[in-house]
Structure 1
């Protein structure tokens, strides 16, 4: 079987982020999961929606995506700038031997792949580019920690993320923008399947979007379009970047080894969300005092400000 057909035999999963709807009430097809703790941000700044997760699917089962998207749309769910689309591709056929080739392919083609998918620039926070030194470290040690981005854990998963191999046997490709349109979602799935199949076949991939699409036999257009975040969201991120270095020393004793995930302004201070090494999330309320910050453990944080 040649490459142009081989990709159809790989199993895949897809994670669809959305806002609105009634995710806790959505009727799910067998095997599908609603990650109710994976919330997105609506246009008012409130937490909204969820992340819909498919079970391992075969290409001929992709109509399940259409069905689930239709159910979401009927509830009024949509995708906005805060939403992404992640595709997991099963690596059982190749085994561990494909991990280094996948990382090398990412170094070669990740910019072309993200450009082909028209990734919104602000999404780099959630799917940063893989640096060469991490690949070198993983090649030497085989340690999954080598390919975990630290310092800004909203982005600890690189855009081409092989860490799921060690948990569920997949590679995750995270660059796509969110979408509620089945043709766009399925087109992203196809591109990711073709990418992994090409790496598995030992094909050297180009670093230019049009050439990459041609090499993979994938569509060049028709992927989810980018949507820029509102000004207030950009300002929130700028504020976080300024505050994180100041608050990190105060957070370390509270969650040893943890890192600040995000910060939300509150009427009486700020809510600081801290991610532990096991990916669990804790929250703390701080208020400014003369020359420093004071922890206020008794203050109840308003979840709607997410």
Structure 2
């Protein structure tokens, strides 16, 4: 496919703004904006909180909408904590599916550079695993969404430069941004993503040095959301989950066809395992560990 130069300001984009606290149900939304109340985040106490705020597909000239919605959101007491991310979707319509191999190659070359420039929190890296050379090889021989996703835990399926999003909504999703409700930090992240996507679509070669790449793109070199360290209890929870997932994965797939473990939580009466099926539906199982092995205590109400 020949390179195609597109003005980055003309690209359509969206952004997923994750937050905790506040009163998301009470926020008055601009036309087309969505508050995904089922997309809760983890607050500092370990409870589910907040939501995810998203605009309709917009262009750079519409960015004042983001400023207005962030103002309304913060007025309710919402904040972005260590568990929140800032995911930018950029439309690939000017190029179409033919450009996907070029973007996979670009991800292999530059994903670490993008991660370093955006200073992704170590605690959020599980939400943005890397694109692999195997994905490129498999896509060339059998193009499709599934080859661009990781297997294992559902929250770890989508890469930091997520090209599977093309097959969902016609975009590439850049997931490396840390959470923020600060307008300047949000808009700096969006501007970098737009300029980066336009450069890759144009077939430009970029530096692998984060500072030099930003300068080459004409993008901000700083002013992105800073990483926030997760509390120790959360890290310990993730360490325990990571240790238990390989042990419980066969049981999860037997309990739910094509099921993958989303998360594992201790409960007074046992261990709660939440399993996601191939359609994204969740089911919960409460497990006991007797001396003879794992045992399903009961199925929780749907």
Give TM-score, length-normalised by structure 1: 0.94
1:304 matched residue in structure 2:
none
In the TM superposition, what is the alpha-carbon distance from 1:174 to its structure 2 partner?
A: 0.3
Q: Is contact 1:101–1:199 with CA below 8 Å preserved after alignment?
A: yes
CA separation in 2, counterparts of 1:130 and 1:280?
A: 26
CA separation in 2, counterparts of 1:135 and 1:216?
A: 25
The alignment status of 1:295 with 2:273, answered yes or no, reads no
2:233 matched residue in structure 1:
232
Deviation digits for residues 117-167 of structure 1 (CA, Å, limit 9, x no counterpart): 010012111001111111111122112111110122211000001112112
CA separation in 1, counterparts of 2:125 and 2:139?
A: 22
Q: How many residues align?
A: 299
1:285 matched residue in structure 2:
286
CA separation in 2, counterparts of 1:79 and 1:90?
A: 25
2:255 matched residue in structure 1:
254
CA separation in 1, counterparts of 2:206 and 2:299?
A: 55
CA separation in 2, counterparts of 1:102 and 1:200?
A: 8
CA separation in 2, counterparts of 1:218 and 1:38?
A: 30
Q: CA RMSD in A?
A: 1.5
Gaps of at least 5 residues in structure 1 are 302-306
2:206 matched residue in structure 1:
205
1:176 matched residue in structure 2:
177
The alignment status of 1:41 with 2:71, answered yes or no, reads no
Give TM-score, length-normalised by structure 2: 0.95
2:154 matched residue in structure 1:
153
2:244 matched residue in structure 1:
243
Q: Is contact 1:110–1:207 with CA below 8 Å preserved after alignment?
A: no
1:115 matched residue in structure 2:
116
In the TM superposition, what is the alpha-carbon distance from 1:36 to its structure 2 partner?
A: 1.0
Q: Is contact 1:8–1:58 with CA below 8 Å preserved after alignment?
A: yes
2:67 matched residue in structure 1:
66
CA separation in 1, counterparts of 2:208 and 2:283?
A: 40
In the TM superposition, what is the alpha-carbon distance from 1:298 to its structure 2 partner?
A: 5.0
1:26 matched residue in structure 2:
27
In the TM superposition, what is the alpha-carbon distance from 1:299 to its structure 2 partner?
A: 5.0
Deviation digits for residues 232-280 of structure 1 (CA, Å, limit 9, x no counterpart): 0000001101111221122112211111011111111111111111222
Which shows bigger deviation, 226-235 or 245-254?
A: 245-254
CA separation in 2, counterparts of 1:268 and 1:255?
A: 22
CA separation in 2, counterparts of 1:245 and 1:267?
A: 23
SS at match of 1:52: strand
CA separation in 2, counterparts of 1:252 and 1:106?
A: 31
Q: Is contact 1:23–1:50 with CA below 8 Å preserved after alignment?
A: yes
1:95 matched residue in structure 2:
96
CA separation in 2, counterparts of 1:144 and 1:299?
A: 32
